[in-house]
Amino acid sequence: MLALHRERFELADGDFLDLDWTDNNGTAVVLVLHGLEGSARSPYVRALTRAVYRRGWRAACLHFRSCSGEPNRCSRLYHSGETGDLDAVVTSIRHRYPGLPLAVVGYSLGGNVLLKWLGEKRGGAPLAAAVAVSVPFRLDLAVARLNTGLSRIYQWWLLRSLRKKITARVRAHPGLVSARGLRRWQTLREFDEEVTAPLYGFSGADDYYRQASSLPYLRCIETPTLILQATDDPFIPPTAIPAPEDLAHAITLEISHTGGHVGFVAGCLPGKARYWLDERIPEYLSRYL
Q: Which residues are catalytic?
A: 108, 233, 261
CA separation for the pair 216, 115 (Å, rounded): 10
Q: List CB contacts of 90: < 8 A, sequence separation 6 or more.
A: 31, 102, 104, 125, 126, 127
Helix and strand totals (H; E) in the chain:
9, 10
Cα 109 versus chain centre, distance: 4
Task: Please provide residue 275's backbone torsions phi and psi, each rounded to the nearest 5 degrees.
Answer: -95, 100
Instruction: Summarize the chain as % helix, strand, coil (round to 5).
Output: 40, 20, 45
Q: How far is CA 87 from the centre of its chain?
A: 14
129-133/29-33 β-pairing: unpaired
